[in-house]
């Protein structure tokens, strides 16, 4: 994804190790994405996973947008559900993107 | 990866789309990793790729460490080589991690 806006903006870096249990996961993940897209301040989303290891990065205009997304998301995918069922471990990082440079063929 | 140090610290978020040409790629990628680990200020590295789409995040104590890594890396894996051969597109983002929270089973 190439951003449409210039730094500074924010990134939520979510790295995770999944369990074998994916019951309800796809639906919840899709819902999280929809909630993100509906949020003002949402810029974009990138996600890759392979063999249970995942890195997802969502991009946001400011911290207020991230907070609003988190609040909306907490109501649906209760954080606890994910912890118990889907993840062995995860880390969420909130980071301010200060610079970016892109290459495209 | 759970960080051993607390925010603030820095993340380099590298997202890429690869070509079919992987000639010399593995060796260069490994070399980049070794250079990172040897750098003072290096905290850690996470990378996932699937079907040519990759997200790699390296973590650093400060911007000076990132600059030193970039300079060391530029000598070996000339940026141009990667652009021409290995990547259709990529974006590098330098971001300051302001908060993090982790879950582990």
Give the tens place of pLDDT for each residue, B44-68.
999 999 999 999 999 999 999 999 9
- Evaluate if residue A25 carries a pLDDT over 60: yes
Residues 6+ apart with CB under 8 A from B61: B5, B9, B10, B40, B41, B42, B43
Smallest CA–CA distance, residue B65 to chain A, in Å, is 15
- Tell me how close the Cα of B99 comes to any Cα of chain A, in angstroms: 5
Residue B80 has pLDDT above 90, yes or no: no
Please report the sign of the dihedral spanned by the C-alpha atoms of residue A43, residue A50, residue B94, residue B28. negative
| Residue B78: pLDDT over 60 | no
A→B contacts (Cβ < 8 Å), by residue, are 1-3, 7, 11, 13, 15, 46-50, 53-55, 57, 83, 87-105
Cβ-Cβ pairs closer than 8 A, A with B, add up to 114
**B92 by DSSP, 3-state: which?**
strand
Contacts of B67 in chain A (CB under 8 A): none
pLDDT band for B3, please (50, 70, 90 cuts): low
Q: Do A98 and B94 touch (CB under 8 A)?
A: yes
Please write the tens of the pLDDT for every residue from A40-83: 999 999 999 999 999 999 999 999 999 999 988 876 665 566 67
The percent of residues above 90 in pLDDT, for chain A, comes to 61
Q: What order of strands is seen across the sheet that includes strand B87-104? A: A42-50, A53-60, A9-18, A87-104, B87-104, B9-18, B53-60, B42-50
Q: For residue A27, what pLDDT is reported?
A: 84
Check A100 against B93: CB less than 8 A apart: yes
CA distance A68 to A82: 19
Testing the interface with A: which of B1, B12, B13, B90 to mutate, by most A Cβ within 10 A? Answer: B13
Q: Which pLDDT score is estimated for A3?
A: 55
Count of CB atoms within 10 A of residue B20's CB? 7
Using a CB-CB cut-off of 8 Å, the residues of chain A touching B100 are 91-94
Confidence of residue B103 (pLDDT cuts 50, 70, 90): confident
Q: What is the mean pLDDT of residues A12-27?
A: 91
* DSSP track, chain A: ---SSPSSEEEEEEEEEE-S--TTHHHHHHHHHHHHHHSTTEEEEEEEEETTEEEEEEEESSHHHHHHHHHHHHHHS-HHHIIIIIEEEEEEEEEEEEEEEEEE-
Question: How far is it, in rounded angstroms, from Cα A66 to Cα A95?
Answer: 11
Instruction: Give the ipTM.
Output: 0.91
More confident residue, A32 or B14: B14
Per-residue pLDDT at B6: 93
- pLDDT score of A16 more than 90: yes
| Nearest residue to B10 via CA among B101, B98, B96, B70 | B96
pLDDT of residue B27: 84
Rounded CA gap, B53 and B61, in Å? 27
The pLDDT, as a whole number, for residue A46 is 95
Q: According to the model, what pLDDT value does residue B41 have?
A: 95
Of B50, B83, B100, the CB nearest to A92: B100
Per-residue pLDDT at A13 exceeds 90: yes
Average pLDDT value for residue range A82-90: 84
Instruction: Give A103's contacts in chain B (Cβ within 8 Å).
Output: 83, 87, 89-91
Closest Cα partner for A87 from B90, B103, B64, B20? Answer: B103
d(CA B94, CA B7): 15
- How far apart are alpha carbons B70 and A29 in whole angstroms? 35
């Amino acid at each position: 994804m190439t951003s449409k806006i210039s730094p500074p903006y924010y990134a939520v870096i979510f790295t995770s190790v999944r369990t074998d249990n994916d019951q309800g996961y796809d639906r919840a993940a899709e819902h999280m994405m929809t909630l993100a897209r509906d949020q003002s301040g949402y810029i974009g989303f990138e996600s890759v996973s392979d063999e249970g290891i995942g890195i997802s990065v969502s991009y946001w205009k400011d911290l207020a947008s991230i907070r609003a997304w988190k609040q909306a998301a907490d109501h649906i995918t209760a954080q606890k559900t994910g912890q118990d069922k889907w993840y062995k471990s995860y880390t969420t990082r909130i980071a301010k993107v200060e610079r970016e440079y892109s290459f495209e063929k």
